[in-house]
């Protein structure tokens, strides 16, 4: 097994500010015109677009709906799910109108002095198959909607006004989930001198670390003769630490080694970031300047020992995330991303897998800052298709270009600890697939020799026989818990990664009886039970993964499918309408935690107490019927009381995986009133308690914001959880009232979401039903500071009002 010993680093260029007079980065976020349709001559400068819709970018044209069963209806057998016979599927890509062609147009001005400079046009994601035109001439095109790419448009630019046109095309049967549509990530102009540092041309690593010193290696590619490079390192407080001047290139790049004394290491617990300023001089004139943040850390993957960070063996407590942001669609938003990561941090999650796509740069920057390790994935398809119009069409022509851009754009983020070249690719079968896996892995090694490469494998038996799994740096198993032992014995690496685990399904606040462990269970309301005992035919409930993670030191961690629900893939109801989003999430589509959140938190968050009771206790009509009670807690035992009467003490044990990680009272009979649980420490001392109560009639609306102060930048968001309570203030967990939303002042209503996978209500309209007693309203700032007032009302309910402050 090749040992990966990686000391690092991070580098990312802040794209929203000017570094100095020698370089300007201008984000093209406003003044866009948008029109759906394959329009003739829309690329020409004199094309009339005054009647087009005005939008800001990032933008997802499809998220506004409406939901429509016919959009993604298809007859298909999902091979990844073990299906052999085709059947009609609906909601597979979210039933949102993402299919078709659309145009974006923007006009921007270049001054006479800027005309003589080098101008780069950077796209961080465009869905899909973008064709780029400037001033009526085609600049270039790309294929993959998740790839970052750029063009040198110096020869296309004119002094004065310039017209940029972008044509995007989303084909049907091109995705297995909701892909979004449009310029859903940032578009930027980079204006710099012709003698300058190359785009993504800086690489920062640390090949030596001790308590006393770290050696920071900075490799930089720059254009221009007779120049020299000065790189200066600053700590997190802006204090200058050290500097180096390089006058000689080694090959086509400068290679600097700079000392940092008493380095502070990056980790999920202490995500410390330094700053490097690279200045490129030609003669004695400053030609370019790039500011980079980086972190110092050491990672290793070793046989029979597993993964270690900064010398400490640890396991990935990770989740998989699709790229959509629920009611915002795929349009990237930093506030939405930060909220997701804040929720995951509280759960004790320490790692993210971008599934099954290249991550946004904003997501990586936040993971660097907040302390998440990252598995950066590239493709869901190689040469063999999963869907008719998927990446298979582009693989031969684009795979290497896409990987090079992924690696160069993101290689210096300290959060990234592993690459993935693919997920459940059909190429796992046969000799050709082995060759492709080797070719892709070698591209990663060539461009970044510091990190290992994995593939999420579901055809584990096939990869054992073909050599596919043996050649990978890190063998990743998607599910297949029954094959872990065999894979460990047959694969030579000496460890196994749970690259995708669980796929338990549940609906927040919905409970089904009798309470039994089942596969592919369906109900008339198209919901799944939140007792967390239901999975798919090919997947399992969380406890089975917990056993492997806790008992097998050679299992180096897991990435749970998924951290949040996402649009599309409504398994097990992908043959039922109106299901249009997933049930897999630990948190629902609105970002509200399901019960499963607390099961993972009880294992993963070792710093805080977890004591959570389920189900809710509003069961009119079930009086006297068996209604099991589960408790998710980090304590080993607890006593349950129903209206003051003890139901006995339960203690975690090894009788079954569920008994090992959950406290379960299976024979409780429902009677209205109070459920109370008292938890005990290992000495039998009562140390914590929790209560839930039967609620009366819904009386009042309650609003709770994740942040009551937001930035007046026209992008920031406050997520407001809306619930209803009875006259005593007890939450009403079964409420489904229709609510209306109004926003006044220096903000706007952006969207709402209730987490119901069957809801066809459009996110951007200011009304929605509660689901299991809750929903979330998104309030967005304007560019002017001031007070924002949100009012939520509903028939027969006392209105709720909340003030949010927007500041510069």
Report d(CA 356, CA 646) in Å as an integer: 48
Positive or negative torsion for Cα 472, 474, 479, 482: positive
Alpha helices in 315-391 (DSSP H): 334-347, 361-370
Report d(CA 801, CA 807) in Å as an integer: 20
Tokens 């009002």 belong to which residue? 801
List Cα–Cα distances, 635 to 276, 420, 586, 606, 676, in angstroms: 45, 36, 21, 11, 15
Secondary structure string (H, E, C) spanning 546-586: HHHHHHCCCEEEEEEECCECCECCCCCCCCCCCCCECCCCC
Q: What are the φ and ψ backbone dihedral angles of 495, each rounded to 5 degrees? A: -160, 165
Q: How many CA atoms lie within 13 A of 294 on its CB side?
A: 31
778: closest CA among 145, 375, 373, 335?
Answer: 335
Whether residue 41 contacts residue 394, with contact meaning beta carbons closer than 8 Å, is answered with no
Whether residue 108 contacts residue 164, with contact meaning beta carbons closer than 8 Å, is answered with yes
Report d(CA 436, CA 303) in Å as an integer: 25
Q: Could you give the residue numbers annotated as active site?
A: 424, 500
Tokens 């009467």 belong to which residue? 645
Q: What are the φ and ψ backbone dihedral angles of 286, each rounded to 5 degrees? A: -70, 120
Name the burial class of residue 143, with classes exposed (0-12), middle (13-18) and buried (19+) by CB atoms within 10 angstroms of its CB. Answer: middle
Tokens 């899909």 belong to which residue? 128
Name the burial class of residue 536, with classes exposed (0-12), middle (13-18) and buried (19+) by CB atoms within 10 angstroms of its CB. Answer: buried
DSSP state for residue 326 in the 8-state scheme: G
Q: What pairing do the DSSP bridges indicate for beta strands 738-745 and 767-769?
A: antiparallel
Beta bridge partners of 649: 639
List Cα–Cα distances, 804 to 24, 199, 200, 250, 396, in angstroms: 34, 40, 39, 55, 51
Report d(CA 316, CA 372) in Å as an integer: 10
Edge-first strand order for the sheet with 611-614 is: 611-614, 629-633, 663-665
Report d(CA 441, CA 471) in Å as an integer: 9
Helix (H) or strand (E) run with residue 710 in it:
strand 709-711
């Amino acid at each position: 097994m090749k040992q990966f010993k990686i000391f690092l680093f991070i580098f990312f260029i802040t794209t929203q500010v000017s570094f100095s007079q020698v370089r300007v980065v201008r984000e093209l976020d406003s003044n866009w015109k948008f029109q759906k349709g394959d329009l003739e001559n829309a690329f020409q400068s004199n094309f009339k677009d005054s009647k087009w819709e005005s939008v800001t970018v990032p933008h997802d044209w499809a998220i506004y709906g409406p939901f429509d069963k016919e959009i993604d209806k298809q007859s298909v057998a999902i091979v990844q799910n073990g299906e052999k016979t085709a059947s009609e599927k609906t909601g597979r890509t979210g039933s949102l109108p993402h299919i078709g062609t659309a145009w974006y147009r923007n006009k921007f001005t270049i001054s006479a002095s800027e005309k003589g400079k080098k101008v780069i046009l950077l796209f961080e994601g465009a869905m899909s198959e973008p064709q780029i035109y400037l001033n009526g001439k085609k600049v270039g095109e790309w294929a993959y909607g998740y790839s970052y790419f750029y063009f040198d448009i110096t020869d296309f630019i004119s002094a004065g006004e310039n017209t940029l046109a972008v044509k995007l095309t989303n084909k049907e049967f091109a995705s297995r989930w909701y892909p979004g549509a449009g310029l859903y990530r940032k578009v930027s102009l980079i204006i710099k001198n012709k003698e300058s540092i190359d785009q993504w041309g800086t690489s920062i690593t640390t090949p030596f670390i001790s308590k006393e010193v770290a050696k920071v290696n900075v490799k930089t590619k720059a254009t221009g003769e007779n120049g020299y490079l000065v790189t200066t390192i600053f700590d997190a407080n802006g204090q200058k630490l050290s500097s180096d001047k390089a006058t000689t290139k080694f090959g086509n790049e400068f290679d600097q080694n700079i000392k940092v004394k008493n380095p502070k290491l990056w980790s999920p617990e202490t995500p410390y970031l330094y700053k490097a300023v690279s200045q490129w001089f030609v003669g004695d004139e400053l030609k370019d300047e790039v500011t980079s943040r980086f972190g110092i850390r050491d990672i290793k993957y070793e046989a029979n020992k597993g993964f270690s960070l900064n010398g400490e063996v640890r396991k990935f407590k990770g989740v998989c995330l699709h790229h959509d942001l629920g009611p915002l669609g795929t349009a990237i938003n930093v506030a939405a991303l930060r909220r997701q990561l804040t929720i995951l941090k509280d759960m004790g999650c320490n790692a993210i897998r971008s599934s099954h796509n290249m991550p946004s740069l904003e997501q990586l920057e936040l993971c660097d800052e907040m302390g998440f390790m990252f598995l950066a994935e590239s493709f869901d398809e190689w040469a063999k298709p999963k869907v008719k119009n998927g990446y298979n069409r582009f693989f031969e022509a684009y795979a290497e270009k896409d990987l090079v851009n992924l690696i160069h754009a993101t290689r210096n983020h300290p959060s990234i600890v592993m690459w993935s070249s693919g997920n459940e690719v059909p190429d796992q079968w046969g000799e050709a697939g082995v060759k492709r896996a080797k070719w892709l892995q070698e591209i990663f090694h060539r461009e970044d020799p510091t990190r290992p490469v994995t593939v999420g494998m579901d055809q584990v038996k096939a990869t054992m026989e073909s050599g596919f799994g043996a050649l990978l740096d890190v063998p990743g198993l998607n599910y297949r818990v029954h094959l872990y032992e065999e894979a460990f014995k047959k694969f030579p690496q000496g460890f196994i990664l749970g690259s995708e685990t669980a796929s338990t399904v549940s609906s927040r606040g919905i409970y089904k009886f009798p309470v039994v462990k089942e596969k592919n269970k369906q109900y008339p309301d198209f919901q799944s039970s939140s007792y967390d005992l239901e999975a798919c035919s090919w997947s399992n409930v969380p406890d089975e993964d917990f056993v492997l993670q806790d008992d097998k030191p050679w299992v180096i961690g897991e990435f749970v499918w998924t951290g949040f629900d996402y649009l599309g893939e409504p398994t097990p109801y992908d043959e039922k309408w109106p299901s249009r989003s997933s049930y897999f999430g630990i948190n629902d589509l609105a970002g509200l935690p399901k019960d499963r959140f607390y099961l993972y938190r009880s294992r993963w968050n070792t710093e805080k107490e977890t004591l959570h009771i389920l189900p809710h206790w509003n069961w009119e009509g079930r009086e006297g019927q068996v209604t099991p009670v589960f408790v998710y807690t980090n304590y080993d035992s607890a006593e349950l009381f129903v209206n003051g009467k003890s139901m006995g003490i339960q203690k975690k044990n090894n009788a079954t995986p569920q008994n090992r990680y959950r406290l379960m009272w299976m024979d409780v009979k429902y009677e209205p009133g109070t459920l109370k649980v008292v938890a005990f420490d290992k000495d039998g001392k009562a140390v914590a308690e929790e209560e839930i109560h039967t609620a009366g009639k819904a009386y009042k609306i309650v609003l709770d914001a994740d942040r009551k102060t937001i930035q007046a930048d026209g992008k920031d968001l406050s997520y407001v959880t809306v619930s209803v309570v009875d006259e005593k203030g007890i939450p009403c967990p079964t409420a489904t009232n229709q609510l209306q939303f109004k926003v006044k002042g220096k903000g706007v209503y952006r969207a709402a979401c209730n987490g119901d996978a069957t809801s066809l209500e459009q996110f951007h309209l200011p009304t929605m039903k509660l689901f299991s007693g809750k929903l979330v309203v998104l309030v967005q700032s304007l560019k002017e500071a001031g007070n924002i007032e949100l009012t939520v009302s509903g028939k027969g309910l006392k209105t709720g009002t909340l003030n949010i402050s927007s500041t510069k």
